[in-house]
Amino acid sequence: MGLFNFVKDAGAKVASVFGASEANAATPEQTQAPANDIKGEFAKYDFNIEGFDVQVQGSKVILNGTAPDADTLEKTILVAGNIRGVDQVESNINVANVETAPEPQFYTVKSGDNLSKIAKQFYGDANKYPTIFEANKPMLSHPDKIYPGQNLRIPREEKSAA
């Protein structure tokens, strides 16, 4: 599928996955996550990826397997990329039963951003923020809980038949 870049030090919100508290999440010894810890993070989401495998090479995570759909593929990339210490995700995950999956569209949150502002930028309508929130569940638990450096899925707008 491809190689995706992330902000290496933006994953403080999930640093506890590697046994660190929020207070000391920035210590150098916790900037590389073991593959088993990353697999543990995926276990929370029940993505149902057939033959799922995770490899870690420095700050790069390599994902393999077959996802049931494009949404699951994109969420898998984001889960890996939003982990502290990961700056690249290589996805070798195939999508089952899909003729052509569109290239994922991601957005890196900047200071001062909120989902309404991001929705306005991508869709021209701030009231479409629930579309972005729903596309990023269960990684997002609340629309106001985003942080700078975090990457979000931005669903492509569906063209409605008028």
Q: Which domains does the chain have, with CATH numbers?
A: 2-95 (no CATH), 106-153 (3.10.350)
- Within 10 angstroms of residue 88's Cβ, the number of other Cβ atoms is 17
As a whole number of angstroms, the distance between CA 161 and CA 147 comes to 36
User: CA 136 to CA 143: how far, in whole Å?
Assistant: 10
**Amino acid in position 128:** K
3-class secondary-structure state, position 152: strand
Peptide bond into 138 cis (omega under 30): yes
Q: What is the pLDDT of residues 72-107, one digit of tens each?
A: 888 899 888 888 888 899 999 998 876 655 667 899
pLDDT tens sequence for the chain (162 residues): 678 888 777 763 443 333 333 334 444 444 455 666 777 788 888 888 999 999 988 889 999 999 998 888 888 998 888 888 888 999 999 988 766 556 678 999 999 999 999 999 999 999 999 999 999 988 899 999 999 999 999 988 754 444
pTM higher than 0.95? no
Q: Are 92 and 63 in contact (CB under 8 A)?
A: yes
Rounded CA separation 87/10 (Å) = 9
Rg (CA), the chain: 16
